[in-house]
Structure 1
Amino acid sequence: MSIAPPAPLPGATPVASRALAPDLARGLMLLLIALAHAHMYLSGHEAGFRGYALDGSGLDRLVAGIQILLVDGRALPMFAALFGYGLVQLANRQAATGRSWPEVRKVLRRRSLWLLAFGFCHALLLFFGDILGAYGLIGLVLVGFVRREDRAVLRAAVIGVVLHVVVLFGFGFLTVSAPKGDTPAAIADPLEAIVMRLIGWSGMTPTYFAASVVPAFLFGLWAARRRLLEQPEPRLLSRVAVVGTALALVGGVPLMLIDTRLWAPADLVAVSAYALHSVTGIAGGLAYAAIIGLVAGRTRRGRPGPVVRALVACGQWSLTCYLLQSVIFVAVFAPYAGGLGTRVGDAAASGIAVLTWLVTVLLAALLSGRGRRGPAEAALRRLTYGRR
């Protein structure tokens, strides 16, 4: 009796079969990522907790205040939740082909390991604030929670929130006590900039970024089990959207007042405001995901228009577009390239961020025809699954 050879390891979900809501969310949130990162390439100014210039013009401070309320510390949890959501989708796809949990876990860990490698290269060449490394690290360490029961996942998420607050207090006191200096983006020597980026990345990835990612990542796992983005529950998502947005806005006001120099409290109060801003940002990120889930649910009732299709294409190319943002920012702002980092303020940097995001959306929309994957997505797929 002949034995059939084992089925080939299933690869990534075909682009045409992907759910609308997660990709739409990624496409929109890349705008917030661009806004949150652009001002981090500026230098020559004393900066506040979130990196905005304290001596900026009135327009700069207005833009900084809006972004502190709506963008900073809100986009990162949103992407972390989507990362956890996608990990469950990937695990379910693998398990549906009959693979055992050890085989599925091996694929998830291999993908996370390569994400960590992508993050290292991103920090090495472009940006000290890389978040891919944190996602890869969390995927490696917490992959077992993909199978854990809901109660264990939610309990771990609550513990993650507590640890997040503790870590934020530590970084907050370092911020107020350390001498104010420029980030690695200000270094004119490319080799020195590489060294400083790696030092910053290696220290912040397992601490600050990981602490920021864990709670939202676990909430994303929980949501994926209920397919809340593919099969929205309007009542639940509406509650998350309203409550999460309110918490994020209220929790962001104290730090917004501090970083725009409208309020100058004692250090302990300022650090507490910094931690409050960040922890309520988790609620804000989940609220953004819920809002997009509701919008996508309505969009599915009809044929998506060209704008939605372009945003979805950007979401499908999210890894490529995220890296391309850094390439453009280095070319525009770095002192060894365009050099605008010392000549513009926060408002101009945000304008450049919006234009950069629009370029990536148009590029993805034009090049993603017929299910074509982005270059970075194709590379990660090949490294994860091998040749098919």
Structure 2
Amino acid sequence: MPPAQTTAAPPSPAARALPAARRSLAPDLARGVMLLVIAAAHAHLFALMATGTDATLFGTWDRIATGTMTLFADLRGYPMFAALFGYGMAQIHRRRSEQGREWPWTRKLLRRRGLWMIAFGAVHVALLFFGDILAVYGLLALVFVGALRLSDRALLGSAAAALLAASAFVFTITFAAGGVPQLPEKPQGLLGELALRLSMWPFMIILMTAATLFPFLIGIWAARRRLLERPEQHLPLLRRTAPAGIAVAVLGAIPQALIKTGVWTDVSAAVGAGAATLHQITGFAGGLGYAALIGLVAVRIAGRPGPIATALAALGQRSLTFYLLQSVAWAVLFASYGLDLRVSTAAGVAIGAAVWLVTVVLAELMRRADMRGPAERALRRLTYGTTAAHGRAD
């Protein structure tokens, strides 16, 4: 039990919120860069759903786009965000502990935050996008908050078990689908698209929770060592992880890329399920490799990030706001009640990159105006109370 004087009158959360000037560069830079991967992957997905055709029927540029996305983006950026979520939860736990807060108070805080993230996710699904991740993060915060108190050995053991469970789950559902999961047909009309999103949501929560737990736990482990807050102290580990993780992800994605681009067509259900499982699992390594690479970049540019890195970090600081804004863009561009674009996969990837570029500019303008993201402000206010509304995000 901590001494009484450390818990009698801890500072308010709002008073001790971390100022933007003191934030570590690497986590924010990682979120900003990975939003590009997320944007390209989602726009690519909507392009496929809109055309309703298989990639094997597309031209050379579309095969190149699909292959590139499979190798470098699909299920590669998402694990890094999941790891960063676990990293962020561990940061909150550490900071509140340093302020004198005891575990039951912090646990209640994180679970309340998780409940509000589930609420955000429910609204996101109802209005915009069936592939919401916010509710999954909120569910992890509710159910697995106790992982913050596990020993390193128990934490890594739990992560290994989660990896095995994810592998078995992905193989089983892909095998049941004949080895090549099919995208849902795009419905028409506001009510039709709403029905699709709501009907898919329970399945997506199960699927994405299974795929999120492993990197979430690894993120907690990484935060204990402050790998991204103090990357200069962990250069040997980062230098090994970056090339190894990215190489494993690319090599592990080759079978799936061959299938998706139509190069490999005679595929049994078992082989297709194996390729999908390998793609999913090696994507975890890719996400961690990307995070390590960005950590190395952050060390290289520390103290002089330059305008591009500054803008990317500004985007990362407002990642929740711009993740949601991306979904607004997809609704405007691809929904049947919006512009209802029907474009090739190559054009879809280009549209995703263009949307991301616009968000970079908007984030930089907000930084210059000293404006926090409205979604971040709302989540903080709901989590901590109205006194935290003007504090910086953790």
Mark yes or no: TM-score above 0.5: yes
1:50 maps to none
Partner of 1:327: 328
The answer as to whether partners of 1:243 and 1:287 remain within 8 angstroms in 2 is yes
Between the aligned partners of 1:142 and 1:227, the Cα distance in structure 2 is 20
Code of the residue aligned with 1:193 in structure 2: it is E
Q: Which residue of 1 aligns with 2:226?
A: 227
Equivalent residues of 1:74, 1:281 under 8 A apart: yes
The superposition leaves residues 103-148 of structure 1 with CA deviations (integer Å, 9 ceiling, x where unpaired) of 0111111111111111111111000011111111111111111111
Q: Which amino acid aligns with 2:298?
A: A
- Counterpart in the other structure of 2:52: 45
Q: In the alignment, does 2:17 pair up with 1:10?
A: no
**Is 2:200 the counterpart of 1:200?**
yes
8 Å CA contact retained: 2:87, 2:219? yes
% identical equivalent positions: 49
Q: Are 1:69 and 2:76 counterparts? A: no
> Are 2:109 and 2:383, in contact at CA under 8 Å, matched by a contact in 1?
yes
| Structure 2 counterpart of 1:261 | 262
Paired residue secondary structure (2:177): helix
Give a deviation string over 1:307-328, Cα, whole Å, max 9, x none. 0110000000100110001101
Relative to structure 1, is the Cα distance of residues 197 and 256 closer, same or farther in structure 2, using a 3 angstrom cutoff? same
Q: Give the superposition deviation at 1:97.
A: 1.1
Cα pair distance change 1:64/1:271, threshold 3 Å: same
Question: What is the alpha-carbon root mean square deviation over aligned residues?
Answer: 1.7
Q: Which residue of 1 aligns with 2:354?
A: 355
| Cα separation, 2, equivalents of 1:319 and 1:101 | 26
Q: Output the amino acid matched with 1:257.
A: L
User: Is 2:372 the counterpart of 1:373?
Assistant: yes
Question: Normalised by the size of structure 1, how large is the TM-score?
Answer: 0.93
How far apart in 1 are the matches of 2:254 and 2:295?
Answer: 26
CA contact (8 A) 1:74 1:285 kept: yes
One-letter identity of the residue aligned with 1:34: A
The answer to whether the 8 Å contact 2:228/2:295 transfers is: yes
TM-score (normalizing by structure 2):
0.91
Classify the secondary structure of the residue corresponding to 1:54: helix
Question: Across the two proteins, how many residue pairs are aligned to each other?
Answer: 374
CA distance in 2, matches of 1:329, 1:259: 23
Judge conservation of contact 2:174–2:181 (CA < 8 Å) in 1. Answer: no
Change (3 A) 1:26 1:178: closer
Residue of structure 2 equivalent to 1:145: 147
Match of 2:4 in 1: none
Q: Deviations over 1:137-184 (max 9, x none)?
A: 11111111111110011001000100001110122124327995634x
User: Conserved in 2, the CA contact under 8 Å of 1:46 and 1:180?
Assistant: no
2:169 alignment partner in structure 1: 167
State whether residues 315 and 322 of structure 2, in contact with CA within 8 Å, keep that contact through their aligned partners in structure 1.
yes
Q: 1:224 to 1:179 in 2, by over 3 A?
A: closer
Deviations 1:161-214 (A, max 9, x none): 00001110122124327995634xx22221221122012112211x21001111
Q: Show the 5 A alignment for 1:287-306.
A: 287-300=289-302, 302-306=303-307
Match of 2:187 in 1: 187
Unaligned runs of 5+ in 1: 48-52
Q: Is the 8 A contact 1:31 1:357 kept in 2?
A: yes
Tell me the equivalent position of 2:102: 100
Distance 1:244 1:93, change over 3 A: same
**Alpha carbons 1:15, 1:373 under 8 Å: kept:** no
